[in-house]
Amino acid sequence: MPGRPQANRRVALVTGAARRVGRSIALHLADAGYDVAFTYLSSLTEARSLERQIRSRRRQVVAIRADLTDPSVAVQTIRQVFADFSPRLDVLVNNASLYEPDATAEKQLEQMRRFWAIHVESPLLLCRAMSSKLRAARGHVINMVDSLTERPLPRYMGYCASKGGMRTLTLGLARELAPRVTVNGISPGVVMWPEQTPQRIRRQYLRRVPLARAGTPQDVARTVLFLCEHGGYITGQILRLDGGARAGVN
């Protein structure tokens, strides 16, 4: 069983944190002094590894298995496990995501519902379930949006549209949870190349990036921490994190 955080120690909850960007966020917050709760679904080995890494930093941690494409069940599970872990919540990062090309016509509606559930419904329900803790801590919500909401990819319409819903949700929650909670979004470009991305496609993308490199998960994690530590007067904003790739694009 996980230990309980000390009363004066800040606590973060990161969804979808066993791998990739979410893992970097969880570790960066632990390094900054936060105890961490995080969710995972199928990546049990990675989740156990992340628990060990966070404990090695002398932070308390709990891993919560939750399927955020089933919002009501997932949020109930998270709420119950978190209640045993900590009485407070300072930071909520809605990072869990589903990224895949559009399904065939026969499966398109089912897929759209899963996209909407993980990118809109679960973040909304989780924010409302945790709102009293966040308000008590004068906390921060960070939603991981996507720069593709500004230039949707063909064959990824379902994903892009649901991330667009998350963008709108961020703006609405910023008003709903004000004045005690800030709510912002981070809209990354490429911060971790999908597996098997051809070098030709990588070079083509980087030609559009003024800073001449792809981002990294650490870039995202540092931005999350900035919003938590120094973003007390920033809310309702979608922060582009793309090396300038969208600068000047009509």
Q: Which residues partner with 73 through β-bridges?
A: none
Annotated active-site residue 34? The verdict is no
Catalytic residue among 34, 159, 205, 233: 159
Sign for the CA dihedral angle at 63, 68, 74, 79 comes to positive
| Catalytic center residues | 159
